[in-house]
Amino acid sequence: MKEVITTFKERLIDFTMYCRERQFVLGPPETRDAFEIAERGYFLDRKLFQYSLKAVYCKRKEHFDRFDELFDRFWSRYYEDKLEQRKAAIKHKKKEPDTATIIFLGAKFNVSKPLQKEQEAKKTVGANESIRLRMTDFSKVNVTDKERLEELAEELFYQMSMRFKRRLENANRGQIAIRNTIRQSISKGGMLLDLSYKRKRKEKRKVVFILDVSGSMDTYSYYLLRYVMVLKKYFKSLEFFTFSTTLTHVTPLLRSNNEQQILQEVGKNVHSWSSGTKIGESLTEFLSSYGSKFLSQKHIVVILSDGLETGSVTQLKEAVRTIRRKCKTLVWLNPLKGMQGYQPIQKGMVNVMPHLDAFESAHNLDSLLKLEKLLMDV
């Protein structure tokens, strides 16, 4: 029994670190409570275990919003593959002598020394893997790396979300409020220990994402969709469209806070995913149906496409020129730019380049994180 429980506690340690890496504030008290939950056998009931850990681990609204998704991602395989085996092992396994002891956040655990060496090796390999995956083109990720890339993207996008939040908080901080500062200092004997600031009334920008989901672009569009779901709460208005041969307004599907549910809804409702490409027609449709509502000098427009137009190049040029005239900033993301030696010589790109404020790549995680700086500066 001890071996089974010890193995589960090791898994629980990994989950605690998994959450800490995603900005959860977890210390020795929370860790001890989590171990007590496990020792009471709550982990035998998945929902009971999930809600118990959620009550202990979550202290902020953003933690509550993300915990269920993190729990499912981390524990699903364990419950699917190991639960029945562990139930049987708990009933029949005899106690075995401990081989080594480690202390984690004030709690002791019995583990084998080879396991400690294995964990250290995994940390080194994991860091190198993360760097490699950040630089890998989305279209070249193999099946064995896909799950790890998903986890890395989720982690990096969440860190980006926290940077956006801090940036907005600092941007809204105005001049020192003298009266409030003096009033607060009275309780501290007149010492000006904490400064009070006036808040700026700074209106959030509005952004429109228009994503090419044709056959050559669907992999890139999927990751930018994940990116958009993180950004949506930091802009006053965020509109999201997809196109290939037809245009689809996807924004109503982004209202849920559950990322997996959003992806499923998009998959069911975007019928032109992985089909042909008619960029000019789709942008013209956007202008005629949504331009008056979603284009102004407060809007940033981001178009993701490789520029391989199969329709009228003249129509594409006129549509892009009109969008640029009506919006504040027009950004074009082209995954092909990430290829060594790439030059925008396709007819579609040649005609739209003069009307762009920025022309960037979006072929891997690193390139998407660079887009963060562009959006922040705007």
pLDDT in tens, 334-362: 888 888 778 877 888 888 999 999 898 88
d(Cα 164, Cα 162) in Å, to the nearest integer? 5
State which of 38-47, 108-117, 151-160 shows the largest mean pLDDT: 38-47
CB 235 within 8 A of CB 299: no
Helical H segments across the chain, by residue range: 2-20, 28-39, 46-57, 61-81, 83-92, 113-135, 143-171, 178-185, 218-231, 259-269, 279-294, 313-326, 347-352, 365-377
Q: What is the mean pLDDT of the chain?
A: 76
212/352 same-domain check: yes
The pLDDT score that the predictor gives to residue 21 is 79
Residue 86 lies in a domain: yes
* 3-state SS assignment for residue 109: strand
d(Cα 160, Cα 157) in Å, to the nearest integer? 5
The pLDDT score that the predictor gives to residue 272 is 61
Identify which has the larger pLDDT, 99 or 55. 55
Write out the two tokens for 272: 């032109």
Radius of gyration over alpha carbons of the chain, in Å? 25
222/272 same-domain check: yes
Checking if the pLDDT of 82 tops 70, the result is no
188/264 same-domain check: no
Residue 141 lies in a domain: no
pTM: 0.61
Q: With CA atoms as reference, report the closest residue to 94 among 16, 157, 2.
A: 2
194/280 same-domain check: no
324/183 same-domain check: no
Scan for tokens 């009550």, then name that residue: 55
d(Cα 335, Cα 351) in Å, to the nearest integer? 18
The pLDDT score that the predictor gives to residue 117 is 47
> Residue 263 CB: number of other CB atoms within 10 A?
15
228/188 same-domain check: no
Checking if the pLDDT of 32 tops 50, the result is yes
Identify which has the larger pLDDT, 42 or 194. 42
Domain final residue pick, 156, 184, 202: 202
Domain final residue pick, 91, 111, 131: 111
Checking if the pLDDT of 98 tops 80, the result is no
231/369 same-domain check: yes
Residue 160 lies in a domain: no
The pLDDT score that the predictor gives to residue 276 is 65
194/223 same-domain check: no
With 0-12 CB in 10 A as exposed, 13-18 as middle and 19+ as buried, what is 184?
middle
Residue 101 lies in a domain: yes
359: which strand partners? 332
233/354 same-domain check: yes
Domain count, the chain: 3
State which of 78-82, 93-97, 118-122, 208-212 shows the largest mean pLDDT: 208-212
The pLDDT score that the predictor gives to residue 247 is 87
249/369 same-domain check: yes
267/320 same-domain check: yes
Structural domain that includes position 361 = 206-377
Residue 47 lies in a domain: yes
d(Cα 93, Cα 81) in Å, to the nearest integer? 19
CB < 8 Å & 24+ apart, contacts of 136-144: 136/364, 137/335, 137/338, 137/363, 137/364, 138/219, 138/220, 138/222, 138/223, 138/335, 138/363, 138/364, 139/219, 139/220, 139/335, 139/363
Residue 115 — very low, low, confident or very high, per pLDDT cuts 50/70/90?
very low
The pLDDT score that the predictor gives to residue 1 is 43
Residue 244 lies in a domain: yes
Average pLDDT over residues 140-152: 79
Checking if the pLDDT of 251 tops 50, the result is yes
189/211 same-domain check: no
Domain final residue pick, 111, 142, 157: 111
Stated length of the chain:
378
Residue 167 lies in a domain: no
d(Cα 86, Cα 102) in Å, to the nearest integer? 23
CATH number for the domain that contains residue 256: 3.40.50.410
Residue 177 lies in a domain: yes
